[in-house]
Amino acid sequence: MCCRSQRNGAKLCISRMPFAHVSSPLSVFSLRTTCGRIYLALFLLRCYSAFFGYGYIHPDEWMQSGEPYFGFTLPSIDTRVPWEWWPNNALRSISALQIQYLGVGWVKVLIKKLRAPTGYDLFLVQRLSSMLWTVYTDILVTFVFPPKTARYMLCLFGISTAATTFLVRPFSNSIEAHQLVLCFLQVVIFYRNRTWYRQGGLTGWHWGVLTGLIAADGFFSRFTFAIFALPLGAFFGLNHIRIAAEGYIRPALRSMVVAIASLLFFAYQHVHSETRFYTQGGENNGIQVATLWGTRWIIPPINALLYNLKTENVAQHGLHPRWLHAVVNLPMMIGVANITVLFIHGLHFVRGVLSDSAKVSPISKTDVASSSKGDEDRAARDTTTKEEEDERRAVEESIKTAMAECKPATEASTEPEASSSKAATMSASDPATAEATEEEVEYVDIEPVAVGLSFAIIIFSLLVLSISPHQEARFLLPLAFPSTVIFAYALQHPYFTLRPKFTGILLSLHVIQHVLQLVLFSFLHQAGLLPALFSIDRSISRLPTDGYPLFDRYEHHLLYRTFSVPFHLIPSKGRGMFPRVEDYDSSNSPAYVMRMASIACNHTTLYAPAWVVPDLNSQAIWEGRVELWSTGKFGWHVDMDHLPETWEAVKEVGWKEAFAIQKLEIRCKSYPEAEGVKSEDDQVIKKQMKEDPQQQQPHEEEERLHIDL
């Protein structure tokens, strides 16, 4: 090691080990720095939200991920296959689901070897897998962006609703967002690397392979990935044209051919997997398979695209005004402060692009002094960029001088030292150019490309997705990352650095909004359902494992007016008829639910939000067969669809009881008169169940389909 003093009194020490080990991009996570400590706090908040946030945002959170995955891989548990996974629809990709649950598979095998998995085990393993995806993307950010920008991004994105709430849940939108991040970073790194095509041989082939792999996986995760990634694909192609224009036609052509071939190869693998999976399911169930235009191939993302193009189809899931994405969903997903920054920085970005394109000669000092306020901002930014460039060059010169002083006098050691100095210089500027010669070292500013691509992704995808009349906030989840890229670079722009009070207000608004949304979506929204399911699973697990099921293992659990119940979170139930767990939605009246509950009174427990309990109790009193006894509750349950009814319940029973799922035991009335009460209703019930077997077995078709698959 050789050290030399600097002008500021510090010492610059050069090790004979590769220089890349001196300063690692992962140093932004160091707890010695303010950013490292902030990131640790945000990471712990993310973990707490993932493992203890029982909020249930949307049924697709579980019904399109864990429910089919564990239903297909754990045949011993009872699940309900959603209609999207039926062979005659084939709207979801099994290969994409396997990629999303890649880590879950290993943990699942480990749990099965130790003991039978509980519902809480399956909940944790899915949340852990989703959270690890976020950590992976955080690490990649530090290797692509400059340290200051990376620090801003980690903090801004770490507090966002996307990172703390949505991405730690197994949404298909979550894996789509991660795939877009990978594709974005891949394209930026490809643009920054200016050496691979200048070298001989087959260097650079990995760019095309990785791009094709990410594109195929993203498209089969959700067809909307193609909309988000289209600007990236266009820039990837234009970058090859730039390389060819520089005279490197063969490397550019070879890389593009590899990318296209890789995309087709990985897409074929997906299509082959989907075709085999759905064809087998269709044959087992005697169902016609949804093939592509009469061929034998099954491509779920195209089926989903064709399904969503028909208004009558999306109308079944709810129609929204076409301005909802831009006016409500985008501000909710990325934040009002971020929207403000996008607008302001977008104007400066466009002005800078137009100014650069119209510039003919350098601006003199006199011109700058007499320019407008916008030109002053740009001049200040140019000065800041020049200072950063001078600082970078000063570091490189110091390294070179230090290495020169460390050279031995012998000629034999000259060549290794030159090589070491060369590596040190390249590591200080760009690790990706470590194998290039010193003449080929070229500093590439990625800010214009990263910001431009981010704006292109946001604007283009927002316009295209707004065409559909069905608009949900989670559809815009992939826009959280590109908006954070713009936010991070905007905070370094003179417009914001020269206005610290305004910037502080925006950052405070950003934090406050996302913390409030974290509390609502992760800890309150439908948050009583999952604890209720875990309680049911524990109750069933304590039943005897032998004996006649109807008498020794009988429990009847009914859930009413909640989100769709993910039955894979009740693995102790098994696949048998008893014990029974059934859920009823708004299509079933309180009268019908109470009739079903009274069939096995003293062995039935009913779970329902507090606002519907008075209707159930009135129906029980009117029928006179059973009584409802409250034996517990699962609190902090906010039903956003029935807030007025909940506020009415607050006046009657108070806050804690109103915002909760009530656990009600169905007890038979013991007095003799109850035996003959409304005996004529028994015949009505039997006749109704005989005429409408779907009411008797509301999920019989789905269970049968699952068993055959």
The Cβ of residue 505 has, within 10 Å, a number of other Cβ atoms equal to 13
Q: Are the CB atoms for 337 and 121 separated by under 8 Å?
A: no
Using CA atoms, how far apart are residues 240 and 256, in angstroms rounded to an integer? Answer: 7
Using CA atoms, how far apart are residues 707 and 46, in angstroms rounded to an integer? Answer: 37
For the stretch 328-353, pLDDT in tens is 999 999 999 999 999 999 999 999 88
**Averaged over 595-614, what is the pLDDT?**
92
Predicted local confidence at residue 549, as pLDDT: 57
Residue 105 confidence class, pLDDT cut points 50, 70, 90 = confident
Alpha carbon distance, N-terminus to C-terminus of the chain? 65
Residue 688 confidence class, pLDDT cut points 50, 70, 90 = very low
Name residue 632's beta-bridge partners.
663
Does an H or E element contain 664, and which?
A: strand 660-668
**Averaged over 686-701, what is the pLDDT?**
44
Residue 396 confidence class, pLDDT cut points 50, 70, 90 = low
Q: Are the CB atoms for 477 and 161 separated by under 8 Å?
A: no
For the stretch 3-19, pLDDT in tens is 544 444 444 444 443 33
Helix (H, G, I), strand (E, B) or coil at 356: helix
Predicted local confidence at residue 231, as pLDDT: 97
Using CA atoms, how far apart are residues 74 and 265, in angstroms rounded to an integer? Answer: 30
Closest CA to 384 of 498, 504, 486: 498
Domain regions of the chain by residue span: 25-79+89-341+450-523, 529-679
Q: Are the CB atoms for 478 and 453 separated by under 8 Å?
A: no
Max avg pLDDT among 198-202, 316-320, 423-427, 545-549? 316-320
For residue 311, pLDDT beyond 80: yes
For residue 167, pLDDT beyond 80: yes
For residue 619, pLDDT beyond 70: yes
Predicted local confidence at residue 385, as pLDDT: 52
For a pLDDT cut of 90, what percent of the chain falls above it?
A: 63
Predicted local confidence at residue 546, as pLDDT: 67
**Averaged over 484-490, what is the pLDDT?**
98
For the stretch 54-98, pLDDT in tens is 999 999 999 999 999 998 988 788 888 899 999 999 999 999 999
Predicted local confidence at residue 456, as pLDDT: 97
For the stretch 11-40, pLDDT in tens is 444 444 333 344 688 888 999 999 999 999
For the stretch 215-232, pLDDT in tens is 999 999 999 999 999 999
Angle CA 175–483–380, to nearest 5: 150
Predicted local confidence at residue 532, as pLDDT: 97
Predicted local confidence at residue 669, as pLDDT: 83
Q: Which of 20-34, 465-479, 513-527, 687-701 shows the lowest per-residue confidence on average (mean pLDDT)?
A: 687-701
For the stretch 377-393, pLDDT in tens is 454 445 455 545 654 55
Q: Which of 38-52, 60-74, 362-376, 603-617 shows the lowest per-residue confidence on average (mean pLDDT)?
A: 362-376
For residue 435, pLDDT beyond 60: no
Q: Which of 17-31, 149-163, 305-319, 674-688 shows the lowest per-residue confidence on average (mean pLDDT)?
A: 674-688
For the stretch 284-306, pLDDT in tens is 888 889 998 878 999 999 999 99
Using CA atoms, how far apart are residues 423 and 418, in angstroms rounded to an integer? Answer: 9
Q: Which CATH architecture has domain 529-679?
A: 3-Layer(aba) Sandwich (3.40)
Predicted local confidence at residue 429, as pLDDT: 40
